[in-house]
Amino acid sequence: MYRIVIDKYIPFLEGVFDTFAEIVRLPPEEITAAAVRDADILVVRTRTRCDAALLDGSRVRFIATATIGYDHIDTAYCQRNGIQWTACPGCNAQAVCDYVEEALRHCGHAMGRNFRSIGIVGAGHVGSLVARMAERKGLRVVLCDPLRSADGFVSAPMEAVAGCDVITFHTPLTHNGESAYPTYRMCDASFLSRCKKDALIINAARGGIVDEEALLKSGNPCVIDCWEGEPHINTDLLLSANTLLSSYHIAGYSAEGKRNASRMCAEAVYGWMGIAAKPVLPSLPVSRGDSEAGWLYRLTKQLQQSPSAFESLRRNYVPR
């Protein structure tokens, strides 16, 4: 029988694998090399770094992460060691789009502005939804995604993005050597110097895409959900008057998005185990978290009051 180690904070997986495998549910801090040594499968989130330190000497052969991003998985190591892995692209795209929409609503009011243009870096699942939402609001949309050029997509240059009233990032986090277009700190001092001084910068993608010190020095208004160095976040940026909204990496945390991710993980695990049946997941809860107007501002105040509680706030957040 297979042995599966699952991050205990991933919802909707109760009973899904129990007929086919021995299940061990652990908080991420307890998913250690010793804990996974006898595991065949891991189902994790971004808080579990899947690399040699965790996996050397284990019998793990399949990793499913219930997230869009996968920079916490050492994919080169996995390839060298015959470990297959899968992520959940698009699982929470609508939730992130809703986050950006709420940010636009609040910041437009707070700044006394009618935004006329939006630059969207990354035209995948999330970026495409954000583009359609922005078009419905009458904004001129500038889409930049050179990686999609091979598919016939016409990518706007970053110079065009820099001229927009709002700039929002929706890319994975990649470094030099990993991609022809690395995204690590792509929003740096040089880029910000070409932006309008009142351009609203939004990072609801990955921590590290925005150079936080450069953003702080630029004085640009901003909305930050994803922070470099989480859970130890940049409190100077958090408490800056220019940070109009902030949150604890929950832009994609909707009940529907989480269920989508769990379903995609379950289907991938079933496929890897050779199980023909479809996994049956619990239904969405009737009662959900705060989604009334102003919800993001309320989260901002909560984080500003307790920045050291970042991880606890994230863990206990009730998906909207």
Just list the catalytic residues. 206, 230, 249
Task: Output b/e per residue, 19-55; b: 16+ Cβ within 10 A.
Answer: ebbebbebebeebeeeebbebbbbbbbbbbbbeeebb
Q: Which residue has the tokens 């399949």?
A: 62
**Strands ordered across the beta sheet of 140-144:** 140-144, 117-121, 166-169, 200-203, 222-224, 243-246
Chain position carrying tokens 């379903």 = 263
Cβ(41)–Cβ(63) below 8 Å: yes
Within 10 angstroms of residue 116's Cβ, the number of other Cβ atoms is 11
Q: Please say whether the dihedral angle defined by the alpha carbons of residues 31, 32, 33 and 35, taken in this order, is positive or negative.
A: negative
Task: Indicate the DSSP class of residue 318.
Answer: -
Which helix (H) or strand (E) element contains residue 3? strand 2-7
The string of DSSP codes covering 156-219 is: PPHHHHHTSSEEEE------BTTBSS--TT-B-HHHHHHS-TTPEEEE-S-TTSB-HHHHHHHT
